[in-house]
């Protein structure tokens, strides 16, 4: 028995043939790209040694999963993944609490859970957890690394994938590196951007846009105690890392590999376009960023090939798509479909689908290997990064349109039933972003407050229709925790001094478990939404035309308020028809390829001149 144990330990002490095969496959390109950035053979050798060690330390269960996913590279492009993003404390108190709520996630059909930032940070200086002070420690209020390992193992037993945020661009000013840099240690100062006068910072400011011009203006912070400026593109307590220093890249990759060895399946690369800085540029989307992400992809494919990289690139499609890399040299496995999300809410406010149709046509024309995460709401604000060049062709100018959108979702224009709040409003430019839960933006909060049953039914119908439309898009749909039961805005954040200045907390409220308990009651708001979404989820997982690599296109409806999306795979065809208007409409389509089944009512109908109720939709399958 003892000899068997010793043999097992010996096997674990060195990499196997599979690792060598992966390493050899990528070695030449990896060495070339690393040398292109750093020209430092010793640091490259150190990186390779550490990769091997992290592979050795990777658990057998994770290696088995890696092997299966290598053999089935399309595993995440199917129609059976449904995500949910949640804050651990808001959802269930801590990681142990989340583990106890896995039955609920399964009830929601969720098999991809995105745990919002949980690594150690400083209360009051966390930016929602995106200012990390220790990449190998969980926030004490949320648990421990052992709790994380237990949670991921429990998730994997239920075939639930776990996603986490990896904050690459910066650290907290309370991170050990930052503390030592502040004390004047040159080794650690070189891991950031330090300047003893404002000459170079002023040169950067001439070309680098501000991320938060109202709440955190400028891109540098003066440190009186250190007598230096430090680059802080986001908030003063978030110090930008200097990826020109190979020590920074290596150490961050070691943190990455340590975290995925805790059982993480999907890593969200936060603010990835910003990670390389060059004087005289916007410090966004520079070529070196893609070199770094490509290196990260290869490191992942060697050590932990079952792990997916999810890029957070909050920009227009032309700047988003390059983060997929190429089919031959891929970078991120998945990207957020940010512009489509923003365009969706523009469509809700205008009842005009032409811009959304154009956006979907662009996405549908991309290679099928590209996988987007689709969502209606997330933890962040809604920025109005729309295609204003196209809108101008219809006489719509950027500034007044942004004003209209903000007024609409405040409930002040366009016969709106929405309730929400502005974020980062700039009185000089008139620009602002927007916050609110899906339910509140759809009118559920207003209808509930006014106890208007008819308005409530209309708001629920819009909420469900938007989710049905999201499920029809190619990629992976992701719910925001609470949306499955129509949870509305939580204004209690205004009483917390650490949150009051940040209106994004309006949609980051605690999970209302007393309302979730009503999910099975079809006579409640929660039950109506939960039950209808459940039906949509079952349809999506049942019908193979919903796979990510299916053919998808938009169909002209000849009504400005009605969108039609078609999907086709292996002889099966499905039409999704969505009415963005509060009035009954007719979709003047004429699909002359047989009769269709209404997948909700199971009735039979022709896909021609389809009458759709206000804020309603149809899923039609060709018989």
What single-letter DSSP state applies at residue 506?
Answer: G
Given the residues 165, 174, 270, 445, select the one marked as catalytic: 270
- Beta-carbon-side half-sphere exposure of residue 6 (alpha carbons within 13 Å): 3
Cβ atoms < 10 Å from Cβ of 137: 14
Report strand pairing: 119-120 vs 134-138. antiparallel
CB of 133 within 8 A of CB of 168? no
CA distance 616 to 25: 51
Catalytically annotated residue among 265, 301, 312, 445: 312
N- to C-terminal Cα separation, the chain = 61
Block residue for tokens 């590999």: 257
Distance CA 319, CA 285 (A): 8
- Tokens 């595993």: give the residue: 75
Dist. CA 82–CA 68, nearest whole Å: 20
Among this protein's residues, is 270 annotated catalytic? yes
Find where tokens 């199971």 sit.
602
What single string gives the DSSP state of each residue in 292-356?
A: HHHHHHHHHHHH-TTPEEEE---S-HHHHGGGGB-SSSB--SEEE-HHHHHHHHHHHHH---HHH
How far are the Cα atoms of 354, 438, 581, 590 from residue 560, in angstroms, in the given order?
A: 7, 23, 9, 17
Contact status, residue 250 vs residue 43, Cβ threshold 8 Å: yes
- How far apart are the C-alpha atoms of 487 and 458, rounded to whole Å? 16
The length of the chain, given as a count of residues: 623
β-sheet bridge partners, residue 50: none
**Please, where are the H alpha helices in 72-144?**
88-92, 95-100, 102-107
What is the rounded radius of gyration, in angstroms, for the C-alpha atoms of the chain? 25
Residue 245 dihedral angles phi and psi, to the nearest 5°:
-90, 115
User: Would you call 381 helix, strand, or coil by DSSP?
Assistant: coil
By CB neighbour count within 10 A (0-12 exposed, 13-18 middle, 19+ buried), where does 316 fall? middle
Output phi, psi for 322, to 5 deg.
Answer: -55, -20
Q: What is the spatial distance between Cα 388 and Cα 346, in angstroms, rounded to a whole number?
A: 12
Write out the catalytic residue numbers: 270, 312
């Amino acid at each position: 028995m003892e000899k068997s144990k010793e043999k097992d330990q010996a096997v674990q002490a060195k990499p196997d043939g599979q690792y060598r095969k992966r390493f050899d496959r990528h070695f030449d390109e990896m060495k070339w790209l690393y040398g292109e950035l750093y020209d430092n053979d010793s640091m490259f050798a150190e990186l390779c040694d550490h990769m091997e060690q992290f592979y050795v330390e990777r658990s057998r269960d994770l290696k088995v999963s890696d092997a299966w996913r290598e053999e089935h590279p399309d595993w995440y492009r199917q129609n059976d993944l449904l995500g949910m993003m949640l804050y651990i404390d808001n959802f269930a108190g801590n990681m142990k609490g989340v583990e106890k709520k896995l039955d609920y996630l399964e009830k929601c059909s969720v098999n991809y859970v995105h745990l919002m930032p949980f690594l150690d940070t400083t209360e009051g200086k966390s930016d929602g957890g995106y200012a990390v002070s220790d990449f190998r420690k969980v926030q004490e209020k949320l648990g421990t690394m052992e709790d994380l390992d237990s949670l991921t193992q429990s998730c994997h037993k239920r075939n639930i994938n776990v996603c986490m945020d990896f904050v690459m661009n910066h650290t907290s000013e309370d991170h050990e590196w930052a503390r030592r840099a502040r004390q004047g240690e040159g080794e650690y100062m070189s891991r950031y951007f330090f300047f003893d006068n404002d000459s170079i910072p002023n040169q950067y400011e001439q070309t680098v846009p501000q991320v938060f011009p109202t709440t955190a203006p400028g891109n540098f912070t003066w440190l009186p105690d250190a007598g230096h400026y430090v680059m802080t593109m986001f908030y003063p307590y978030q110090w930008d890392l200097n990826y020109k220093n190979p020590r920074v890249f290596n150490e961050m990759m070691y943190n990455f590999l340590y975290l995925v060895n805790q059982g993480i399946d999907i890593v969200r690369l936060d603010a990835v376009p910003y990670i390389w800085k060059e004087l005289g540029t916007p410090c966004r989307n520079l070529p070196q960023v893609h070199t770094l992400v490509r290196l990260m992809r290869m490191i992942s494919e060697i050590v932990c090939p079952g792990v997916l990289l999810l890029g957070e690139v909050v920009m227009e499609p032309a700047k988003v798509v390059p983060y997929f890399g190429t089919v031959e040299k891929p970078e991120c496995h998945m990207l957020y479909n940010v512009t489509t999300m923003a365009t969706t809410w523009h469509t809700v406010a205008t009842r005009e689908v032409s811009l959304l149709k154009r956006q979907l046509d662009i996405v549908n024309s991309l290679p099928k290997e590209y996988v987007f995460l689709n969502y209606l709401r997330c933890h962040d604000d809604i920025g109005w990064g729309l295609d204003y060049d196209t809108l101008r062709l219809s006489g719509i100018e950027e500034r007044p349109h942004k004003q209209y959108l903000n007024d609409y979702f405040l409930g002040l224009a366009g016969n709106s039933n929405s309730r929400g709040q502005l974020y980062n409003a700039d009185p000089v430019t008139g620009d602002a972003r927007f916050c609110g839960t899906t339910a509140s933006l759809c009118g559920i909060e207003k209808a509930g407050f006014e106890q208007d049953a008819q308005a409530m039914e209309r708001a629920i119908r819009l909420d469900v229709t938007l989710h049905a439309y999201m499920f029809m898009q190619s990629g992976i749909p992701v719910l925001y925790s609470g949306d499955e039961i129509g949870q509305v805005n939580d204004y209690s954040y205004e009483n917390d001094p650490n949150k009051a200045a940040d209106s994004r907390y309006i949609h980051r409220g605690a999970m209302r478990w007393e309302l979730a308990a009503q999910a099975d009651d079809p006579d409640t708001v929660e039950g109506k939404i939960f039950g209808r979404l459940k039906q949509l989820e079952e349809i999506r997982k049942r019908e193979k035309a919903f796979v990510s690599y299916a053919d998808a296109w938009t169909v002209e409806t000849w009504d400005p308020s009605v969108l039609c999306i078609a999907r086709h795979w292996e002889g099966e065809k499905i039409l999704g028809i969505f009415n963005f208007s509060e009035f009954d409409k007719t979709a003047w389509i004429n699909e002359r390829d047989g009769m269709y089944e209404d997948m909700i009512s199971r009735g039979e109908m022709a896909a021609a001149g389809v009458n759709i109720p206000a804020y309603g939709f149809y899923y039609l399958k060709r018989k």
